[in-house]
Amino acid sequence: MVADSGCLSRKRLNNPHIMPHGTPLRRFTKAEPCPICGGHDTLGRGRGVRCFGYYLGNSARCTREEWAGSLPQNRDGTYSHRLHGRCRCGQRHGEGPSSAGVARPAAPSTLRRRVEQRFRSFFTLTAYLKRRYGEGTVVRHWVYAYAAGKEAFRVLRVDYRAPDGARAKSYRPCHRCASGKWLLSRPEGKLPLYNLPAILATPPEVTVAILEGEKCADIAAALGLVPATTSAHGAKAVYLTDWSPLAGRSVVIMGDADADGIGYVTQIAAVLAALDPPARVQVVALPGLAEGEDIEQFIEARRGMGRTEADILAELRALMAPSP
């Protein structure tokens, strides 16, 4: 069983040599999901919302690393969050469970922790992640910049091998602080859109394409669909981004062909409609995609049919054309 977003397999959590003893475990279920991340172990794979944790005494042991803040990792791969009072992750969780599969807002200390590990360089930061996640770990990154072009932060994708041997992935933000050190956190304030300088460099009448994830935005831009953008941290964190540069602009949103993709598109459309002036929004569902696929598979399928890059771009622009 593959763990999503740093979650560990049920096999490891059931290991009697690393599980706490003497207290019955109450695992997170669909009816009673994790109060920290909103996940449980019956959610679909690849959506980044599964959690294999459980309740233990007055704490909730969540397996989602991105919600852990400065909490240390337990031997079974979980993070112990206090359900009464202020948790060391920086949030007051309360006693009521979250809605199933709905991630909670990131805690302030997740983003600006009391005790943050600082790295001398980006190289030492990635080297630390490779050691932490183990042999075979690959770290890739995407750079986000402010309007003037200055780097704001980076989104890291960590591909690693889970305890059961399957491949898994985790996403982490990092940025360089005023001292020159690198932190495994995002900067304070709203985050810029991906490729923001490119968006601002285009005439206001040019349509902006929004895709789900940096990889998809890069693929669209490489094909010639510019400007192409996305927001950091995916469908569960649309509110973290500053969408104001798209006020009054024509926007086309293309999400992934899954539940998260639908949620991403819906949330962004609502945010853009609330801008002043509101953006002119069109949602495009790419045809022929299977569950979980995106623009990458859309393009690959057409390349397999012998279509040229120009043909594929023309088809995308036709799909993006305003309805009569």
Closest CA to 243 of 205, 215, 262, 269: 269
Residue that terminates a domain, selected from 161, 183, 205: 183
**Domain final residue pick, 127, 157, 183:** 183
Task: Quote the number of domains for the chain.
Answer: 3
Q: Are residues 128 and 96 part of one domain? A: no
Adjacency order of strands within the sheet including 250-254: 228-229, 208-211, 250-254, 280-283
Is residue 47 a contact partner of residue 53, using CB atoms and an 8 Å limit? no
Query: Same domain, yes or no, for 166 and 225?
Result: no
Same-domain status, 166 and 210: no
The residue among 106, 132, 151 that closes a domain is 106
What per-residue confidence (pLDDT) applies to 112?
A: 40
Instruction: Give the relative orientation of helices 309-320 and 295-304 as an angle to the nearest 10 degrees.
Output: 130
* Domain co-membership, 84 together with 4: yes
Residue 251 lies in a domain: yes
Task: Tell me, yes or no, whether 113 lies in a domain.
Answer: no
Could you give the 3-state DSSP secondary structure of residue 166?
coil
Query: Is the same domain home to 207 and 292?
Result: yes
Domain of residue 130: give its range.
Answer: 118-183
Low-confidence ranges of the chain (pLDDT < 50): 1-21, 95-115
Q: What is the pLDDT of residue 316?
A: 96
The verdict on residue 255 lying in a domain is yes
Q: What is the CATH number of the domain that holds 216?
A: 3.40.1360
Are 95 and 71 in the same domain?
A: yes
Q: What is the pTM of this model?
A: 0.67
Judgement on whether residues 215 and 291 belong to the same structural domain of the protein: yes
Q: Are residues 157 and 237 in the same domain?
A: no
